[in-house]
Amino acid sequence: MSQALELRAQALRWLLETDPSAKAAGVAAMAHAFAGGALRLDSAAVHPHHEAIPGRPARPVLVAPRQVGRRSMATVEGRAMLVHALAHIEFNAVNLALDALWRFPGMPHAYYTDWLRVSKEEADHFTLLAGHLATLGHAYGDFSAHDSLWEMVENTRDDVLARMALVPRTLEARGLDAIPPLRAKIAQAGDLAAAAILDIILRDEVGHVEIGNRWYGFLCEARGLPLRATYDALVVQYRAPVLKGPFNLDARRRAGFSEEELARFA
């Protein structure tokens, strides 16, 4: 099969792209091409890759999480820093979805179409936030950022079960809890355009976490593993962060967490 016509090879191509705007546009074009039948899916293909994963721009400078600056929402600069941090999360999330799409062969067809959808929606989020950042007088790369989300992607590169458990249903699910208070803070500061973007992101992230939950359940069932005990073991094995509340139980419920899991959060 020609690489140029294969969806997962294209996902790897756009994962390696270093220019954020080109990456976002490429992902949108890839989703459009697949929907129109111009790209085919070879779920069994094993694609060679090199070490320059993921493709990123020279800026932002990546620092430890505690070194990322924080400013008051009362200033334009402070709001720009927050929007930049959100744009960085969404840029990482595009790479995360592309990696989930190309890296793991042998999954059902729907797994790849799910992660294609996630990559497209994350690219849309990045584009919205980068556009809003420009209205605040800044561009993506102007402030420092951290890399903790991608570190877990890298750690789980050899096991799709660990990836589903610890990236979408753990790290990304934290966004479900974090977005409502952030939205309230930025709306209170008068930035209603940013608040509206956060409404879109929260809506879509519920679906993304649901995809992670669904494929985690599928893989546990396929391997004959108990959902909860397996998750607890993976958290320890991969040193995943301990989740702290408050939790958005309504959004987590819509994202497919069981009542038993929600009881632990409560």
Q: Which residue has the tokens 């111009």?
A: 38
What local confidence, expressed as pLDDT, does residue 3 receive? 45
What local confidence, expressed as pLDDT, does residue 42 receive? 93
Q: Rounded to whole angstroms, how far apart are CA atoms 39 and 14?
A: 14
Which residue segments constitute the domains of the chain, with CATH numbers given? 79-265 (1.20.1260)
Contact partners, residue 109, CB within 8 Å, separation at least 6 = 41, 43
- The pair of structure tokens assigned to 178 is 């974090």
**141 conformational bin, left if phi > 0, alpha if psi -120 to 50, beta if neither:** left
For residue 6, what are the β-bridge partners?
A: 40
Backbone angles phi, psi at 91, to 5 degrees: -60, -45
What local confidence, expressed as pLDDT, does residue 249 receive? 96
- The pair of structure tokens assigned to 190 is 């008068």
pTM equals 0.93
> What number of residues does the chain have?
266
What is the mean pLDDT of each successive set of 10 residues along the chain, which is 266 residues long? 73 94 97 95 84 74 69 83 93 96 96 98 98 96 81 93 96 94 93 97 98 98 97 96 90 95 86
What local confidence, expressed as pLDDT, does residue 2 receive? 43
